[in-house]
Amino acid sequence: MIDKSDPFWRDKSLREMNQEEWESLCDGCGQCCLIKLEDEDTEELLHTRLACKLLDIGACKCTDYPNRHARVHDCVVISPDTVKTLDWLPHSCAYRLVAEGKDLHWWHPLVSGDPNTVHEAGISVRPWATSEEGVPEGKMIRFVVKDPSIKRILTGE
């Protein structure tokens, strides 16, 4: 039996959420805005430290959120229909957690009441990401994450 005093993310499925609830699930980590590359030989997904040109890295917010899909051709739509198919979503991502029937982490702003706890917990890209702006596509491989502590944040491993 569902306790009606539960927060909305425990009480509702992703499909049942209104737009405000859906948007509030974003913890502001910026991880989904990082450029990912695929190894042509192994098809392995490679995470980079390069952030989308629209990401304000300091704030971990998109600078043109309403128009992001028009401005960035490969900006992925995260929706109730796609969330389970996006295996690159961070294991800490609230959309992924709710879709998997799990609860949000202590540092999520909806739990902590503070939008800075995601940064204080070391989950956001703020301290180590850099903009893709000005980096030629052929040079992006130089930004593949090798640091084990950052890899753990991105992959949950």
| DSSP letters for 16-42 | G--HHHHHHT--S--GGGEEEEE-TTT
Count CB atoms within 10 A of the CB of residue 114. Answer: 12
20-69 pLDDT, tens per residue? 999 999 999 999 999 999 988 998 899 999 999 999 999 999 999 999 99
User: CA 125: distance to chain centroid?
Assistant: 9
101-112 pLDDT, tens per residue? 999 999 999 999
Could you tell me the pTM of the whole model? Answer: 0.89
Closest by CA position to 98, among listed 16, 154, 5, 3 = 16
Q: pLDDT band for position 149 (50/70/90)?
A: confident
